[in-house]
Each structure stands twice: as structure tokens, then as C-alpha cells.
Chains A and B, each alone.
Chain A
Amino acid sequence: MAFDWSAIPGSLPILWQGMLVTLQITLVGVLVGILVGTLLALFRLSPNRLLSWLSAAYVTVFRSIPLVMVLFWFHLILIPLLAGLLFPGQRLELRFITALAAFSLFEASYYAEIIRAGILSVTKGQFNAGLALGMNRRQVMRLVVLPQALRRMVPLLLTQAIILFQDSTLVYVINLDDFFRKAYNVGNTVGTLNELILFAGAVYLVICTLASGCVRQLHRRLTVLPVK
């Protein structure tokens, strides 16, 4: 079987367009995911029963549903419904927004569990030391516990980001042109689908391998750093 790679150089600009979409979904998913995940973790650990229960329910629901379905539901039901309420009568291009929202909220449930474990790994003694100095619970959480928890969690948070980067290919189910779908489309049009998909796979492989290597390095540095 002979391979024909000739279509790739000329289509690099198009592929780059797709890569930008992939990277944006990853970046927003990680940032919003960590933000919402932190809130969920704090709610989960709060003495307020209702907040704690709501947070637990959120995490359980999102972790029990396949990501593909979350994307579908956001695409077919939730986002059109919201758009209809907020901007009635307008036809809007919503697929990118849908992907951002779905990934952010889905990832938040995973980040919530990582961050909750991180918070719980900071000892009661540290919490008491903060309280004993006269700080209130919020201050202790923000100034003493969270900085330690997040630092300890950095490698796990980044590993989750790499998973998200790969999972973002699932946006093909809502016809959003990320890197993978651009490659697929180019291959389909030119007639060298196998080559384009192999190429796309190689790109994901290289990026993820490099990123994992960086995380390992960081993990090593962080464990040497003065963090108990």
C-alpha cells in the first residue's frame, strides 16, 4: 500500500485553524473546569448540607454520563433552549459555544474530585494553625489550605488537561471542525483519508507525549520543593 502525503503541506493552514479550535476548547475547559471544580469542592466540603448535597449530585451525574451524550444534550436541547430564551428569534452559530460549555462543565466534575482530595490531604493541624492565628474559615481556606492543595494537585490537574485535549476530538458529533475533523475533511476531499488520519494521530501523539514528559518533570521538581 503506497502512501501519498502530498496533500498535507498545502493544507497546513486549514489544519492549523482546526488546531486553534482544539486548543481553545482545551484551554477554556481546563480554566473554567478548575474554577468551577474548586467551587464544587468547597461546596462539597462546606458544613452547609444543601450545598454539599448539590455539589455531590452534580459530580455524580456528570461522572456517570458519557461525554458524547453530554455534548449531544447540550447541542440538541440545553444550548438551543437557552439561546431561544435569551435571544428569541435569532439564528445563531452555537456549536463552538456548546463545546466550550459542555467540556467546561463536564471537566468541572472531574476537577472537583481531584481538588477535593487535595484539600483533604492538607491536615487538620494546618487548618487549626490558621484558625488559631485569628483567621476566619474562608481566610484559612484561601490563604493556607487551597494554595497547598492546588500545588500538590498540579500534576494531576495537568494530566487531566491532557486527557481533555484528546477528548476534545469528540466534538465531531456536533459537527464542529476541530483539528481532527479538519484533517478528516481534507482527507475526504483529496482522497487520501488514511494519510490524513495517520498524520492527525501522529500530531496528537507527539503533543501528548511531550506534555506528559513536562508533567513528569514538574512532578519531580514539585516533590523536591519545600511542600510537605
Chain B
Amino acid sequence: MISIRNVSKWYGEFQALKKCSTEVDKGEVVVICGPSGSGKSTLIKCVNGLELFQEGEIWVDGISVADRKTDLPKLRSRVGMVFQHFELFPHLSILDNITLAQSRVLGRSKKQAVEKAVQLLEMVGLAEQRPKFPAQLSGGQQQRVAIARALAMDPIAMLFDEPTSALDPEMINEVLDVMVNLAQSGMTMLVVTHEMGFAKRVADRVIFMDRGEVVEDRPKQIFFENPETDRARQFLSKILTH
């Protein structure tokens, strides 16, 4: 479903990604972890073309992201993305946040869009909040709305960039629960997170990145029990005892 092949990216002189490769099959859940600044966000943003890369290829559902002829907005409309800082639109109500792209991008009727939004808000337990504005919700609630907003586009895969790291500890689980349900429902997911509990529960594979490189890419069992590199081992011991 998502295929990343030898991707390198530079910001000016600085190389942020060094020949990164991995695959995410349909229905797979892949977790990316690694120290801050290791290129996780950059890599995940390359997948839906929010960042450009200079070398390598990324294919999403058979479509090349790097191909100049690719209709990037169309591709992005089929891949959901959830951000660290939620990025709900503050000037729109919760309901309008979820219906905006449905009507403007997919051309759904108002009725269809609202129905879909309400159904998803119910799924994330926030149906009552629909007339409110983002600033009136807690961080955990905002992130659940952001997930609903992405799902409203009926994506073929979902990208998450540290979805819980801006949250107060007591709100992390309400978001992770939604993500676990999503994973178990068969959604293809590429998730940057340091929540190793989440990785242990639902991930198929875990990728460890450091200094722009994919250092490890293993089935989760093997990654947690017997990481190959010292860098991964050190990283794991740091965040697991944390």
C-alpha cells in the first residue's frame, strides 16, 4: 500500500533523510520511533507530499508521490493525517471541521457530510460537542476530532505524527483507544509515536530511526525482545524505564 524506496532528503546542506526504505502493506500497522530530530516527521510528511524529497521513490496505492504529473491534492484526500498539535481549524465548529473537506474536496452534499461527521463523532465519543469550537475542547478531545476529520474522507491509509505527545498524560489513553480500535478494524496505519504500549498491542512492525536513517525495521516481537543495534537498545531502555 505504501512503499518507500531509498528516499533521501536535504534541507539546504543538511541531509534529513538518508536512503530510507520501508513497506506498509494493506491492513498493516507500522510504528516509527526514534530520538527527536531523527527525521520521523520529515519521512511521514514525504508520504503524502507535504515535504518534497530529492532522491528515491514513494508509492501510495500504486501512485508515485514524486511524479510531477501526480495529482497531489487527490492523493492526499485519500490518505488521512493526524498531527501532533491537532490542527483543528479554530474558526470552524467541530461539525464544520469535519464536513469542510468532505464537501469541498469530495463534493459530498451537506446532508451526506453531516451524516458522516455525526457517525464518526459518535465513534470517537464526541457527538455532543458538534456545535462547539476547538478551543472549547480538551486536547484529548481535539485530537479525537482530528482523527474523525481525517476518517471522514474514507482514507485508504492513515498517517499519525506523534498524536499523543502534546497531550497531558491523563488524556493519552482516550486517544490511543481510538487508534487501537482503528488498527483492529483493519486500517493501514503508519504511526510515529513513543507509546510503546500502543506498539506492543497493535503494531505489526516497528521502525527505529536515528539521524535520518532507518536503523531497524523489524516485526515488533523481535524489535522489543532482541533489537539488533546498540542505538535501538539504548533508545528502548531509555523510553521503557521512563
- When the two chains form their complex, are residues B73 and A135 in contact, meaning their CB atoms are under 8 A apart? yes
Interface string of B79-95 (1 = CB under 8 A from A): 11101010111110000
Most chain A CB within a 10 A radius of its CB, from B45, B100, B134: B100
Q: Does B3 lie at the interface of the complex (its beta carbon under 8 Å from any beta carbon of A)?
A: no
A134-B153, A135-B105 as given contacts; A227 in contact with B91, CB under 8 Å: yes
- When the two chains form their complex, are residues B136 and A133 in contact, meaning their CB atoms are under 8 A apart? no
Q: Does B150 lie at the interface of the complex (its beta carbon under 8 Å from any beta carbon of A)?
A: yes
- When the two chains form their complex, are residues B85 and A131 in contact, meaning their CB atoms are under 8 A apart? no
CB distance from B173 to the nearest CB of A (A): 24
Chain B contact patch, size range? 20 to 34
Of A27-35, A142-150, A177-185, A195-203, the one touching chain B? A142-150
Q: Does A125 lie at the interface of the complex (its beta carbon under 8 Å from any beta carbon of B)?
A: yes
CB distance from A25 to the nearest CB of B (A): 31
- When the two chains form their complex, are residues B90 and A148 in contact, meaning their CB atoms are under 8 A apart? yes
Chain A residues whose C-beta falls within 8 Å of the C-beta of B104 in the assembled complex: 135, 139, 143
- When the two chains form their complex, are residues A133 and B48 in contact, meaning their CB atoms are under 8 A apart? no
Chain B residues whose C-beta falls within 8 Å of the C-beta of A130 in the assembled complex: 89
- When the two chains form their complex, are residues A143 and B74 in contact, meaning their CB atoms are under 8 A apart? no
- When the two chains form their complex, are residues A134 and B87 in contact, meaning their CB atoms are under 8 A apart? no
Chain A residues whose C-beta falls within 8 Å of the C-beta of B73 in the assembled complex: 131, 134-136
Chain B residues whose C-beta falls within 8 Å of the C-beta of A151 in the assembled complex: 91
CB distance from B58 to the nearest CB of A (A): 15
6 contacts between A and B (CB under 8 A): A132-B80, A133-B76, A134-B101, A135-B105, A139-B105, A147-B91
Which residues in chain B, 103-122, are within 8 Å of chain A measured between CB atoms? 104-106
Chain A residues whose C-beta falls within 8 Å of the C-beta of B80 in the assembled complex: 132
Chain B residues whose C-beta falls within 8 Å of the C-beta of A11 in the assembled complex: none
How far apart sit A133 and B73, CA to CA, in the bound complex (Å)?
Answer: 8
Q: Does B194 lie at the interface of the complex (its beta carbon under 8 Å from any beta carbon of A)?
A: no
- When the two chains form their complex, are residues A144 and B89 in contact, meaning their CB atoms are under 8 A apart? yes
Closest A residue by C-beta to B74: A134
CB distance from B47 to the nearest CB of A (A): 11
Closest A residue by C-beta to B133: A226
How far apart sit A113 and B150, CA to CA, in the bound complex (Å)?
Answer: 34
Chain A residues whose C-beta falls within 8 Å of the C-beta of B135 in the assembled complex: 226-228
Closest A residue by C-beta to B102: A133
Q: Does B149 lie at the interface of the complex (its beta carbon under 8 Å from any beta carbon of A)?
A: yes
Q: Does A218 lie at the interface of the complex (its beta carbon under 8 Å from any beta carbon of B)?
A: no
